[in-house]
Amino acid sequence: MTLWRSSAETGPGDAMLDFTSSLEQDRRLYPYDIRGSIAWAEALERLGVYESAELQQVVETLNDIKAELDAGELELDPELEDIHMNIEAELSKRLPELGSRLHTGRSRNDQVLVDVKLYLQDCSVELENGLLSLLKALLEKAGGEAGTPLPGATHLQPAQPVSLSHYLLAFFEKFRRDYQRLQKNKDELSVLPLGSGALAGSGFKIDRQFLAEQLGFERLSRNSLDTVSERDFMLDYLHFLTLLGLHASRLAEDWIIWSTPAFDFCRLDDKFTTGSSIMPQKKNPDALELIRGRSSRLLAAYQGLASLLKAQPLAYNRDLQEDKLHLFRALDAVSWFSLLPEMISTTTFNREKMASATEMNFLAATDLADYLVERGLPFRRAHNVVRELVEKARRQDKKLSQLELSEYQSAASEFEQDVYDFIDPVACMKRRDVYGGTAPRRVQEALDEAGGWLQEVNNND
């Protein structure tokens, strides 16, 4: 075990190279670095730095390098500090004179930003697809369950009946907001940093608009000092990922609890559970636990980048090399997109267990109070009457539906025979008949709206 290379072994120069190299982290940027360099070379050609034929050589060689890197055939050298220097060095090895012209008017400060933005544009496509699969899985699962009651909880205590559809659509809404947050984040990803130079703007009259067009950016960053110093778009991205992870952690928490034998509201497909090295009976919801646990990585990454940026003088400081570390770690922490949609699709819900839990646990109490309110009692008094009825039932170990009418009437004379129908779980659900409520017809409308939206989004894609 060695936490760090001792200077005795290697000499401080090597230790320094080791310490400052970011190749480990930025290796994944190579395709974007090459794309950015090709556009840069083209812009240089327009300035006369390259002849047309020279440009072609440069572009071809860069493409060769990319192909070799794709194929794993090219070794990178950590001593060359980062991915940018590695690629430039390789180019210069192959085209000594032309390669050495490529960095004309460019700085690593603007170069790395264009790389990261291109990378995040690609990540966004993947995350968008992941979110759409997830939304689709939730919606499909929710379909047809608008009348399936579930004991909706607050404080983890049974509260009021809601339908399984309504529950699943609650997560649909959370992840839909994530989808929309992702769209909003695209704005800043489409602002081109390249051409800002080290801090003051390129010293060559490079055509930034041309660069933007070549690379698919929509507008140019407005101030070079701001551009090389800011990482707002990264913190925006980490915020988006944090909320995404938090939403998933909440679904995980619910389903972990629901998978216990005590609740038994749902069963995960075997392929998403894991056994124990020692307890043969175990089917553990490991994937859900990891989804929950990994949300902590996102909190960590946000704090990492935010505290990195705090109080940094303008413009660029080497501290910023760490930005990518936090960003990439966060991106790696949502790899559960490969599992979660299918996990949702293959989970079975135990309708009987949910229904009996709905009836057992006084979930109609609110409605019972509303019953009295409708018959003229002020809300606060009705509330008190029902609390006493519930206590009476609890002491007798009865459901509300098992209390005698006389018991109801001795609590409040307004009660009549129709109270029994009134407190049926589905009747209770039907009564939440406001926009956004759990009434089956409202939920059906919500399912339709969600389906339409998803369709539209998929079409636009």
Stretch that binds a second copy, among 55-63, 71-79, 197-205, 402-410 (CB under 8 A): 197-205
Stretch that binds a second copy, among 55-63, 67-75, 171-179, 406-414 (CB under 8 A): 171-179
Q: Which is nearer to a second copy, 189 or 252 (CB)?
A: 252
CB 318 within 8 A of CB 16: no
| Interface characters, 381-410, with a second copy (x: CB under 8 A) | x-xx-xx--x--------------------
Output the six-digit token pair for 288. Answer: 């859900």
Stretch that binds a second copy, among 59-67, 69-77, 305-313, 404-412 (CB under 8 A): 305-313
Q: Minimum Å distance from CB 380 to a second copy?
A: 4
Q: Which is nearer to a second copy, 56 or 271 (CB)?
A: 271
Q: Which is nearer to a second copy, 114 or 228 (CB)?
A: 228
Q: Minimum Å distance from CB 73 to a second copy?
A: 19
Residues counted in the chain? 461
Q: Is 189 a binder of a second copy (CB under 8 A)?
A: no
CB 32 within 8 A of CB 86: no
Q: Is 425 a binder of a second copy (CB under 8 A)?
A: no
Interface of this chain with a second copy, residues 96 to 155, rule: CB under 8 A: 97, 100-109, 119, 122-123, 126-127, 130, 152-155
CB 151 within 8 A of CB 358: yes
Interface of this chain with a second copy, residues 432 to 461, rule: CB under 8 A: 432-439, 442, 446, 449
Q: Minimum Å distance from CB 60 to a second copy?
A: 19
Q: What is the number of H-type helices and E-type strands within the chain?
A: 21, 6
276 is catalytic: yes
HSE-up (13 A, CA, CB side) for residue 305 = 24
Q: Which is nearer to a second copy, 59 or 328 (CB)?
A: 328
Q: Which is nearer to a second copy, 57 or 92 (CB)?
A: 92
Interface of this chain with a second copy, residues 233 to 292, rule: CB under 8 A: 235-236, 239, 242-243, 246, 249-250, 252-254, 256-257, 259-263, 271-272, 274-287, 289-290, 292
Q: Minimum Å distance from CB 404 to a second copy?
A: 18
Within a 10 A sphere around the Cβ of 194, how many other Cβ atoms?
28
Phi-psi group of 70: left, alpha or beta (phi > 0 → left; psi -120 to 50 → alpha; rest → beta) = alpha
Range 198-221 burial, b when 16+ CB lie within 10 A, else e: bbebbeeebebeebbebbebeebb
Q: Minimum Å distance from CB 460 to a second copy?
A: 19
User: Residue 274, SS3?
Assistant: strand
Output the six-digit token pair for 278. Answer: 């020692």
Question: H or E stretch including 409?
Answer: helix 405-411
CB 21 within 8 A of CB 111: no
- Single out the residue of 72, 73, 157, 397 in contact with a second copy (rule: CB under 8 A): 157
CB 167 within 8 A of CB 152: yes
The DSSP string of 56-102 is HHHHHHHHHHHHHHHTT-S---GGG-SHHHHHHHHHHHHSHHHHHHT
Q: Which is nearer to a second copy, 190 or 274 (CB)?
A: 274
Stretch that binds a second copy, among 51-59, 65-73, 378-386, 403-411 (CB under 8 A): 378-386
Q: Which is nearer to a second copy, 72 or 280 (CB)?
A: 280
Interface of this chain with a second copy, residues 27 to 46, rule: CB under 8 A: 28, 31
CB 204 within 8 A of CB 105: yes
Interface of this chain with a second copy, residues 44 to 73, rule: CB under 8 A: none
Q: Is 197 a binder of a second copy (CB under 8 A)?
A: yes
Q: Is 355 a binder of a second copy (CB under 8 A)?
A: no
Catalytic residue among 7, 100, 276, 296: 276
Interface of this chain with a second copy, residues 216 to 235, rule: CB under 8 A: 220-230, 232, 235
Q: Is 16 a binder of a second copy (CB under 8 A)?
A: yes
Q: Is 301 a binder of a second copy (CB under 8 A)?
A: yes
In one-letter notation, the amino acid at residue 199 is: L
Catalytic residue among 6, 155, 277, 413: 155
CB 194 within 8 A of CB 106: yes
Output the six-digit token pair for 423. Answer: 């407190």
Question: Is the torsion defined by CA of 160, 164, 166, 168 positive or negative?
Answer: positive
Binding-site size for a second copy (CB under 8 A) equals: 198
Output the six-digit token pair for 269. Answer: 């497909």
What is the rounded CA–CA span in Å between residue 325 and residue 73?
Answer: 25
What is the rounded CA–CA span in Å between residue 435 and residue 431?
Answer: 12
- Single out the residue of 83, 87, 113, 331 in contact with a second copy (rule: CB under 8 A): 331
Q: Which is nearer to a second copy, 63 or 129 (CB)?
A: 129
Mind telling me the catalytic residues?
Answer: 155, 276
